A and B are shown apart, each in its own frame.
Chain A
Amino acid sequence: MDPYETENPFEEDTDRVQSEASSAYRVNLSAPSSPPSQSSRIPSSPSLGSASRPAFPSSGSHRQPQAYKSDFCCTRDQWLHSGEEVEIITDALKTSVNSSSTYITYVIKSGTAEAQHRYSEFESLRTSLARLYPTLIIPPIPSKQTIGDYAVKQAKAKEDAAMIARRKRMLQTFLNRIARHPILSNEHVFHRFLDGEVSWTEVLHSPPLSLLPTNILKAPSHNPTDQNASPGYTALPNPSATHALRRPDQRFLDSEVFTNKFAAHLSGPMEKVTRRTMKRWSDSSHDHAELGAALNGFSLNESGQLSSAIEKTGQAVDATYMSTTLLLQELEQNWAEPLHEYTQFATIIKKLLVYRHQKHVQYEMTQENLEAKREQLEELEKSEHAARRLEEALGRGRTSADSPRTEDGTPSSGDNSRADTGYLPPHPGPNPVRRRAPGMGFLSALSYTLHGMMDVDPATARRNAISKAREQISLLEDALHLSAQDLKYSSSTIQADLDRFQRQKVADIREMAISMAKSHRDWCKKNLEAWEEAKREVEKIPDHPNRMLEEIVEDSGGVANGSRESTSTIDGH
């Protein structure tokens, strides 16, 4: 295990991040004797650490040219890595193809290709990718339930339309995020999804997706579909996510703590207040619409300049209604939706960290198992040795003519493993496959004792146990090696992707804040113009005859304009 610095991995320190990323990459390549290295799904592209870009909402405006790549797997691949700006566009369509009822299908345009997929297929794509790449942050898709709390409660049909539009936007973001991911964009499954040449069910039932193991924890991290994976993987335990680590990695502990905090903050204060604010804006825009109409009606009853002044005021209110509606839309698309997406990201990262945690637990448990087995073996050998000496002593005590019987006793007692191989176990020993559960060492020891007591021939049983222990030790040694490699690989890959994610996040927060500020500014600007116009019209109303001719208007009684008290300090500024 590389000793990681005990620092918050999400910290924005680009220099460090860079070096880390490259070290992660180095680890990736030089992973010692990684058995199935030839089929590694991760292309050895140097872009692993550096090529990350925000997909939202700048739509890849600061996209760097992808790392050079020459062996394209298909035209989609070529298009995605053409070095130009690529943008996948989706469109929602109501259809009833192959179905009795209508459903929504999303049309995906990527370059020249066009594909149609249903929401469930997006979901399936995402799950598949998550299983294919257990160490990468797979971007989220809109959750199944409508994130309707976001939207204004409107008529049912309208809400549907709004929901579809929102889904469409978020699915598009999802696809573009994958397209810009340095590793995921190379996945042929993704290319086939974009191509739309074969049905998604076919993709699901053909390699690599059909080869995915049922338990992802017992498959190589770098390529879960590897068919030639070492049998050592079967010896790996299947730990629970809450199993405590003996020697946790501080770096990932920090990551976990941070991710939890981040998720809580986003789904708590941030999303809640956003939702509330949007609800309020929507109510406010309705009120303005009503008021605008009321003022317009009001102006019809009055005459002359007063009438047009009221009318213009009403128009200013109407303008506020229009601009507020626009503000609301922009807030939803550029603030609320990304916020929600990042809440989902946080959940995904949590799962990713759990995976790594489990990998780590696997490693430690394997280590423990191995030690237990070695101790047991030592124990067995000790008693074997003692038994032999006793036998020898007994033999010496008898006549020396008896000597030929020491068939298995004479060879060097330290090198006894070969001698036992020919033996068939006289009683069914515990299946080695079942040995992975924690605490199995104790159980088998117990069963050994039981067998020993029952056995007619304790010496034979002992020898059998010794040979079994050796077998298991060699398997566990294998597994430990694999586990160590996996752990190293997942740690470094996850770390690299987290670093990439962090940069993407900063870029997105930046975009979110800018778009929020711009939306508000434009809102102010529009309303200001409308009110200025209204003011000009109001000014035209003739003054009251009761006034001083030499305009020393001394209307001192006007409303006291207290200066604005801005409480612009919450602690910490």
Chain B
Amino acid sequence: MLGEDDDVFDSVTWESPSAPTYDAGPSAPTGPGFRQSTAESEPGHGPHDPKWEGYLITSVKDPVKELADTKDAYVSYLVSAKTNLPIFSTPNPSARRRFQDFVFLRNHLSKDFPACVVPPLPDKHRLEYVTGDRFSPEFMERRRADLHRFLQRLSRHPTLQRSTLLRAFFESTEWHVTMHQHVAHPPGPEHTTGVIDSISDTLLNAFSRVRKPDERFLAMREGVDKFEEGIVLTERLWSRIRNRTNDLTGDYHDMAVAVQGLGFLESGITDPLNHFSNTLLEFSALLRHTTQTTTDPFLIHLHSLLQYSHANRAVLKLRDQKQMDFEELSDYLSGVTSERDRLAAVISGHAGSTGLGLSSYLKDRVDALRGADDDRSRVEKMRKLDAKIKELQDAVQTAHETSDAFSDETLREQTVFQYAKEAEMKEMLGNLADGQMEFYKAAMDEWDRIIPIIQRIRVDV
């Protein structure tokens, strides 16, 4: 009976995507996950353009092994920042934090800001390019870089950079207290756990697809898909090249040894051949160096960007869910409404009963057989339905607002993510290009140097 007739859906007003319905005024929901700022009032900014109120430059440095000789040993990192954001009490906050603290920060930020793309933390055990245990310098350096990137992403986010939790993360001297407080008293009003939740819980997952997809988000989703596809492919191919280069490193080393061996045999040209062997060796060293300092970081960054994009995709999915909540509720409402209309028609003299189709007619017959067909019970039922309709109308209204607000937030979030993505791609590709250029320059010099040495070999008389 629910949503039998799709036409009914049209009776519910649905904001067309192009209509800018979002109003930053007090009527906007102010729960967590929604922007608390009023930045939109500034001219020159569209409603979906994010605005940064200041800068926050973060860094993670100096990993130190604490409680080294106990079984509770852990590594702490110095996190520091430079900022001009008014929320910070000092322009240069800094603190020592351990990995668990980062985990706490991330978990709670993502809980408090569901509409924001909260960057992911590195997987605890993704150590493809690192050997050694948790306390090996390679591991600590790798993790430091990952955490640095995590904080950098947070600080680049216009909303997250101003969150109180992040501030506490940098400033608090009693971080444990802060953590407990945060858990006990989450900021912002409680989630209105009303009809939406109870109903949407029952309806969720019943339909996995948004029925009225929004073009903007479809395109966005497609963009994210393609982006991730590109990243995945690039990562796969590049790591293949990395392995190839590794093999070549070994090959050139072997060739250097072989040429040196030839030098031992050819007593007349031992010296130039040794030089040549050195060049081959140097080339091999350059290959290894570039793998270590360029390719590996590039691959790590690439992978981390992919993770970040996954987080972004999750937010998009959440938005779809919000829309679905609204759509399901609307369906439910229209179902209830039509039931009431039918009852009303029955009461007013069975006038429209035939027009309401076979199913309603059968229902009437069943009701009649049960002896519940007296007008009084119908009126009673109608009153109940009216009350339910009113409740549902409120819920639909809230869901609609939530969905719309979430959509707007998502649009802005996408822009924020685009900024972050571009900046990271710039850094990533820039570093890659720098590393490649450094390698080719050094290698070119190396080969250039050997040519005159070989040319000096005396030939004939």
Contacts and interface: CB of A to CB of B under 8 A. Distances in A.
Nearest to A306: B422
Contact of A555 (B56, B59, B158, B256): B59
B265 interface: yes
A261 B264 CA distance: 11
B248 A280 contact: yes
B59 A528 contact: no
A290 B283 CA distance: 25
B444 A50 contact: no
B434 A535 contact: yes
A546 B161 contact: yes
A3 interface: no
B185 interface: no
Interface string A335-353: 0000000000000000000
Interface in A1-38: 8, 10-14, 18
B265 A541 contact: no
- For A287, A502, A525, the residue with the greatest tally of chain B CB atoms inside 10 Å of its CB is A287
A539 B430 contact: yes
Interface in A531-552: 531-532, 534-535, 538-539, 541-549
A541 B247 contact: no
B265 A277 contact: no
A524 B444 CA distance: 6
A568 B450 CA distance: 14
A541 B433 CA distance: 14
B286 A541 contact: no
B52 A545 contact: yes
A557 to B, nearest CB: 4
Nearest to A508: B459
A294 B230 CA distance: 7
B454 A510 contact: yes
B422 A556 contact: no
B251 A280 contact: yes
A561 B57 contact: no
Interface string A274-309: 101100110110011011001101100110011001
Given A506-B266, A557-B145, A568-B285, A544 B419 contact: yes
A525 B443 CA distance: 9
A426 interface: no
B447 A541 contact: no
Interface stretch (A369-377, A443-451, A512-520): A512-520
Interface in A487-524: 502-503, 505-507, 509-510, 513-514, 517-518, 520-521, 524
Contacts of B144: 557
A273 interface: yes
A546 B258 contact: no
B238 interface: yes
Given A53-B460, A562-B292, A567-B281, A261 B61 contact: no
Nearest to A8: B267
A64 B460 CA distance: 10
Contacts of B266: 10, 12, 505-506, 509
B441 A548 contact: no
Interface in B232-246: 233-234, 237-238, 240-241, 244-245
Contacts, number: 256
Contact of B267 (A11, A54, A294, A556): A11
Interface in B125-146: 141, 144-145
A411 interface: no
A509 B282 CA distance: 20
A549 to B, nearest CB: 8
B216 interface: no
Contacts of A556: 59, 61
B429 interface: yes
Interface stretch (B148-156, B204-212, B316-324): B148-156
Interface stretch (A99-107, A135-143, A238-246, A262-270): A262-270
Contacts of B148: 557
Interface string B55-71: 11101110000000000
- For A273, A288, A555, A559, the residue with the greatest tally of chain B CB atoms inside 10 Å of its CB is A559
Across the A-B interface, give the 10 residue pairs with the lowest CB-CB distance, nearest first.
Answer: A12-B268, A298-B230, A544-B423, A557-B148, A535-B433, A528-B440, A524-B444, A521-B447, A269-B258, A566-B285
19 contacts: A266-B262, A274-B255, A284-B245, A288-B241, A294-B234, A306-B426, A309-B429, A506-B269, A514-B451, A517-B279, A521-B447, A521-B448, A524-B447, A535-B434, A538-B426, A543-B423, A544-B422, A548-B84, A564-B289
Given A64-B460, A517-B451, A525-B440, 7 more contacts: A270-B261, A270-B262, A295-B234, A297-B230, A310-B429, A506-B268, A517-B276
